[in-house]
Amino acid sequence: MSLSPGPGTGQLTIAPRDFPTNRGGLCQKGWTAAELLTSPERLTTPLMRDGKDAPLREAGWDEALATVARRFAELRAARGPDSVAVFGSGGLTNEKAYALGKFARVALGTSQIDYNGRFCMSSAAAAGNRAFGLDRGLPFPVADLDDSEAVVLVGANPAETMPPLMGHFDPARLIVVDPRRTATAQAALDGGGLHLAPTPGTDLALALGLLHVALVEGHLDTPGRVAYRRERTTGWEAVRRCAARWWPERTERLTGVAAADLRRVAAVLAGARRAHILTGRGAEQHSKGVDTVAAWIDLALALGLPGTPGAGYGCLTGQGNGQGGREHGQKADQLPGYRHIEDRAAREHVARVWGVQEAEIPGAGRSAWELLDALGTPGGPNALLVMGSNPVISAPRSRRVIERLRALDFLVVADFVRSETTDLADVVLPVAMWAEESGTMTSLEGRILRRRAAQAPPPDVRSDLEVLHELAVRLGRSGEEFPPEPAPVLEELRRASAGGVADYAGVAPELLDDDAAVYWPVPDTTGSSRADERVGEPVGTPRLFLDRFEHADGRARFLPVEYREAAEMPDAAHPLYATTGRQLEHYQSGAQTRRVPGLRAAAPEAYVEVHPDTARRAGLADGERARVVSRRGAVLARTRYVGDMRTDTVFLPFHFPQAGAANVLTNPALDPVSRMPEFKLSAVRLERADGHAPKEGE
């Protein structure tokens, strides 16, 4: 949606209320976002240290950039290109994500690049690619959900994390799968929908149980579903055998979800002409996240939903550019256009666009957690550039992350506010905020949106693209290779992505200027006409898979999966499940929202939601400070009695720093495919705080 006048018209080309995704609606974070633009806590000048133990001081841009380039060059010369690493963000525009991936591989020559989006949607991406041959959060426009007769939300709480999305759901037709009675679950219950509260870590078994019920009760035997599986899929027999072992009573014993509810949900899904299954972080952020998402995709395929008009499977994204941020090369194994970095043809194509030899492009590097865990170790990177991320708060086992960042020879962070990560940096580079720069973003439905600058940044603040341009020149590359403005970067991105899965070749600027509804893939032949010549007609591919899936044979793949326990289970010393997530007032690591007075006043400190009986057994009164202790450490949080919590589960938001940093508790056990850490489940115990500070390794 354009938030500035359309070209030559002086008017918005789309009225905010007419934009179909949010219909002009904003959540509390959106209402207050502009307050940060003039916050006294904005970073407005570079900061540097004169030594590891020296305080940060103000510096000029020339001194800061020259120091960064010199230190990077020295380390590369002494220890090789992989001694310097890059950590990006799902909040960067498409242009910045593309430029950062190119900068790492061309200007630095390093394979060591990944980003915080690895912690967000990587499990759904891996499962989607395996099943469909393509990963796009929603392979259909969000507005399709308006007419859905049944929506299953697995591990997603949009009422707090994406409030405008709730306008697309009929609560009476909403089925929420979540161990907690979240605001989304409560909305469903209040409106006549359903809430299933499985034991944490058992979503995979629940999906298999639902598939079993649908199978044995004849819901999958309709002519249309039989024909769909025969003509549009492969692998059904192997999945059918897996599901056969998950009769309702067995599923109930493991998940805690009543067999009667399993039968009811299966019947609702099967009886709906238009139904959707949507997964979120609660399904993904596990050491078996790919298999869990695959099990829900299997259920969707068995019911004939993906690729059927008005129905489907999708994944809800988390960050501002969660979709576009993972498409163009800031992921360790990826090149622009969602190409795999080990694919020879992909490498040759991108090398031609970049003007380098194919052999000059490094191979795949470490995934996000593995990269952070290797910092400053023998054979690991000795320097790190962080752009738009705060891994001290957002990464698992956060005290280990602090330890590794401190072990670096050199840490550089580009951001617009101080954070727990900038506080460890040797150089801090102040960069522009969302309202101060132009570029493109890609929404969860694959729609490419133009962001237009609404105001100039503070005088001594530069854009991320300008920073990459200046550093690349100082590292010996030409300025033309790394343009400081978004328009030429988008033009190059279009060429680099052409022919890839995420094909942006047809994303012509005039289409974006006219606010056309542009959905990738957009081959160059699609984007050749202006939006005003295609009135009311979307450009590109708003609905995927209607005719074929993206595998060579055009068929979707059923993915047989087996249930396994979480990497860590409760025991006598740590008898409770802890799960983490977001709350309405704050966003991600909280570095921005904790600086907005109204949001900070509404949610000022860390808390732990716990059933009153569980809290009392630990000697904790409502409102009292508690210690939550895992095998990796402990945090302090205000006890919050929640009568509808499971008695075996506690919940902590992860937005808070220092003693309240919930990710101190979390387990970095990784999914073997996606390399997603197990954020959503760790074994903990509750204790009275009694003035004690958390200690490492408790």
Span 388-399, average pLDDT: 91
For residues 578-603, give the mean pLDDT. 78
Report the distance separating Cα 193 and Cα 171, nearest Å: 6
Helices 94-102 & 464-474 angle (0-180, nearest 10): 20
Letter for the amino acid at 84? Answer: V
Angle, alpha carbons 390-394-400 (nearest 5°): 95
pLDDT recorded at residue 7: 36
**Each residue's pLDDT tens digit, 19-37:** 777 777 777 677 677 777 8
Q: Which two tokens stand for residue 483?
A: 């343009």
**pLDDT given at position 697:** 40
pTM reported for the whole predicted model: 0.92
**Residues sharing a CB contact under 8 Å with residue 326, sequence separation 6 or more, in sequence order:** 90, 115, 117, 121, 122, 125, 334, 338
Residue 364 has pLDDT above 80, yes or no: yes
- So what's the pLDDT on residue 696? 43
- Residue 407 exposure: Cα atoms within 13 Å on the Cβ side: 16
| Cβ-contact 239, 211 below 8 angstroms | yes
**What does the pLDDT read at residue 278?**
97
Amino acid code (one letter) for 96: K
% of the chain residues with pLDDT over 90: 77
Beta bridge partners of 154: 177, 279
Mean pLDDT of 576-580: 96
166-175, 394-403, 519-528, 537-546: which range is least confident on average?
Answer: 519-528
Query: Could you give the CA distance from residue 298 to residue 233 in angstroms, rounded to a whole number?
Result: 10
Token reading at 90: 């799902």
Q: Are strands 439-442 and 448-451 parallel, antiparallel or unpaired?
A: antiparallel
Residue ranges and CATH numbers for the domains of the chain are 1-38 (no CATH), 39-113+325-480 (3.40.50.740), 122-315 (3.40.228.10), 576-688 (2.40.40.20)
Strands of 233-273, DSSP E: 233-234
Cα 177 to Cα 144, 160, 218, 268, 494, distances in angstroms: 21, 15, 23, 15, 39
563 or 15, higher pLDDT: 563
Mean pLDDT of 115-137: 92
**What is the mean predicted confidence (pLDDT) over 654-680?**
90
Q: Is 70 exceeded by the pLDDT of residue 625?
A: yes
Q: What is the overall mean pLDDT for the chain?
A: 91
pLDDT above 50: residue 592: yes
Q: Is 533 exposed, middle or buried (0-12, 13-18, 19+ CB in 10 A)?
A: exposed
| Mean pLDDT value across residues 497-517 | 89
pLDDT for res 531: 41
Alpha helices in 419-536 (DSSP H): 464-474, 486-497, 509-513
What pLDDT score does 530 carry?
43
pLDDT the model gives residue 11: 37
Report residue 588's pLDDT band, with 50, 70 and 90 as the boundaries.
confident
Residues across the chain? 698
What's the whole-number mean pLDDT along residues 227-242?
A: 97
Separation between Cα atoms, residue 99 and residue 431, nearest integer Å? 15
Cα 588-445-563 angle, rounded to 5 deg: 70
User: What is the Cα–Cα distance from 227 to 229, expressed in whole angstroms?
Assistant: 6
**pLDDT of res. 527:** 43
The CB-based long-range contact list for 547-552 (8 Å cut-off, 24+ gap) reads 547/307, 549/132, 549/133, 549/134, 549/232, 549/306, 549/307, 550/132, 550/133, 550/134, 550/501, 551/132, 551/133
| Half-sphere exposure (Cβ direction) of 532: Cα atoms closer than 13 Å | 6
pLDDT over 70 (residue 653): yes
Residue with tokens 């001194």: 63
- By the 10 Å C-beta count (0-12 exposed, 13-18 middle, 19+ buried), 578 is classed as buried
Question: Rounded distance, CA 181 to CA 676, Å?
Answer: 25
pLDDT tens-digit readout, 521-576: 999 865 444 444 444 578 999 999 999 999 999 999 999 999 999 999 999 999 99
3 band by pLDDT with thresholds 50, 70 and 90: very low
Structure confidence by residue, pLDDT tens digits, 57-85: 999 999 999 999 999 999 999 999 999 99
Higher model confidence: residue 520 or residue 34? 520
